[in-house]
Structure 1
Amino acid sequence: MTAPTSATDVNQPSLQPAAPTGRRISLPVLLLIIAGALALTSIVRLITGANGITNVSQMSTALQLAVPIGLAGLGGLWAERAGVVNIGLEGMLILGTWFGAWAGFQWGPWTGVLMGIVGGALGGLLHAIVTITFNVNHIVSGVAINILALGATRYLAPLAFEGHQGGSAKQSPPVESLGHFTVPGLSSALESLNDQHWFFVSDIAGLLGGLVTDVSWLTLIAVALIPASWYILWRTPFGLRLRSCGENPIAAESLGVNVYKYKYLAVIISGGLAGLGGVFLSIVANPFYLEGQTSGRGYIGLAAMIFGNWMPGGLAIGAGLFGYTDSLNLRGGSANVHALLLLGALLLVAGAIWLAIRKKYVKAAITVVVGALVFAWYATTDDVPNQVVSATPYVVTLVVLALSAQRLRMPRANGMPYRKGQGK
């Protein structure tokens, strides 16, 4: 491949990242799949009488739980699109929770938001120095940051919070709320429609009602970051240069791209986004820092990013799915999870039919057997143990990743060491 005449012209075709292998799902097809899944959920709701699986409160809680997962996953997307694996998202979330609460209870919640972003960005900077400058294995560095963040916050929490009203060695004093909003008229109309329990229409009303009822301003910012990231990474010269560093850094360097700079920027932004997710946990989800409150959401965010095939839209769907399953713990968990066993059985049967159409008969047979076992579980029980309810988000994470693994393509140079001038 011959380099363009101008070393700084990064709009040449040679710099374009390679297209993903396999067939990409178009937007109309994706919307049709989502509508089909929602219709199937509505059928299950009518059969089981578990109206709570799509009510406004359930969807509002799911959105709140999806935000930190989505922000962590978005942070991972920025880093990995530049070729840096960021296993340290959990640690950056932890730094965001601590810094956000520490600054928030002293100087106000919006100062806490800014400091939480800074805290996560500092974790990202450390990861960038270790992996980009010193070429340490990305996984090793990420795990070390997770351990370091946990240890650092455990050390700092008693120093910062003890002696203040409401504070302790493991908890910060309360932080003032950022405020919430509800769209007047629309929220109540959707809630009334959801209460009618009609087929499909009430389920859509519940989904939309959760998006306009008692929503935090930080939630609005987090949702806006999804299309903003897509636009920046796929529709600007800056995004093209950054993604080229994750696909072929040697080719990018030959065209005049400062690969180190773009990798550093991507990983620092990654840490800042994860830090913002931590702020959400310590200011919005709970009005205080609490040791262990991230509960592995950084790892689930990474799973959402992989499920979304390193694309913001797919990531958002993954985060919503994991947030929804997590919300089952809080609102009628046992009854709702039991109803979803029937949904799982129906989805498995649909998957078996699809595999049979594609002439993958062995996989189709296995899927049918699993679906039959799930249906037998549903038919022979009236509820599920609380332990199953608590484990549901993590089980769904594993199942979704296993089912989506064959269609994934990460950036080609993701996790690979790079040295300036190595292509010469």
Structure 2
Amino acid sequence: MLLAIEDIKHVFASLKAKGAFAILSGAFLTKVAAFLGSLILVRIMSKSEYGVLGYMENLYTYACLFAGYGLNNAVYRYLVLKETEAEKKGIFDYVVSQGTKFNIVYVAVLSLLAFLFPHSEEFSTAHLLLPLMLLALPLQFLSDTCSFSLRGLFRNRAFAFTAVLTVVLVWGAKAAGATLSGLEGVAASWPIAYCVVAFVLLLYFRNNIFSSVPAIAPEKEERRGIRSYSLQYMVTNSLWALFLQNDLLMISLLTGDASAVADYKVAFAIPSVIAILSSSVGIFVAPYFIKQENDKAWVWSNYKKTFIGTAVLVGGAAILVCLVAEPVVGFFYGEQYLNIVPLMNLLLVTAFVTNGLRYTTANLLAAMGKIRVNMFVSFSGMVCQIVLNFILIPLFGVYGAAYTSIMVYSFMAIAVFVPFVMMYRAH
């Protein structure tokens, strides 16, 4: 018994030394800061202003899916694979340079489209404010590239600190902008905040990470590999980002009930927070798997530990939320939403399946360069989602979307698990 306790203490001490708890704390504080920031904006802005902001933020979020050709996803993997500081700097410089060039053209085109697009009269201010907001996109890309690079360089505490600092600064700037000049102030604050973050981080990399290090640029063949990996990652992320939007769109189209859409959105909010746990574990372990990706015995052994640990962690959190669901919903959303508790419990099952069972495998496949598997599974899952929603939502209403999610995410969890086993178990 004492030996087991000592082993547990040793594991926790090792995780702490490597920065695992810093990553988890950073993810949690980032979510808290964003949540508090949104509450402050709701208090400061009028309901109509906040609605227009939500409209522009949704469009901005879609634009971000294709920012920099997805190159900042590649920096995470390729920095781990490189052995020398000069090679690492070459990868970093290549991603920053090529991603920025792409973003300049991309934002120019998007801004023109945003200006010319026939926004409804209610959202007419987006003609000018959305192009202003889009100026933040290349700066956010640079900030994210620096942040991902810190993790790829195993600087976990700096990575966590940067994530929290960025969210606090951006949301603080939004609140200040809203106080000073309403919706226009929020739109202007976004690029200003990311300009500060990007400048500070790039300066930090220049003076502290890669100071006095000559860059060795990646060869032509490797550049092609980076672009291919980035494109596949970008497509996969884009497909994944559409899953919730598909549910909401199909609920609204097939039920014609706005309250059903609201119920589903609120019921999904709390279960979605559980993703903090799996993503934190994934962010921490992925670089180690990248480093050892050619050692199949090591990968399989540590995959089993990571998979079981994540499943237990996420499953425990889902059970805990289920036990306190009614008072939590009543406290945050009021008694008018107590009817969603059964729906939320179903979505907790969904959260467990996708975050506890699917995510670990999918994340490690992507990290170790097998992103094509994820892309195929995500596309197949989306087709299944659309077909099942057409069948189940008319039969069960909003619950039909929840049943669909459970079935689709279960299929996706199995669909990524099988090739992983085939690739790494037979070593």
TM-score class, shorter-chain normalisation, is: 0.3 to 0.5
TM-score (norm 2): 0.34
Higher relative contact order (CA 8 A, sep 6+): 1
Which structure: greater helix fraction? Answer: 2
TM-score (norm 1): 0.34
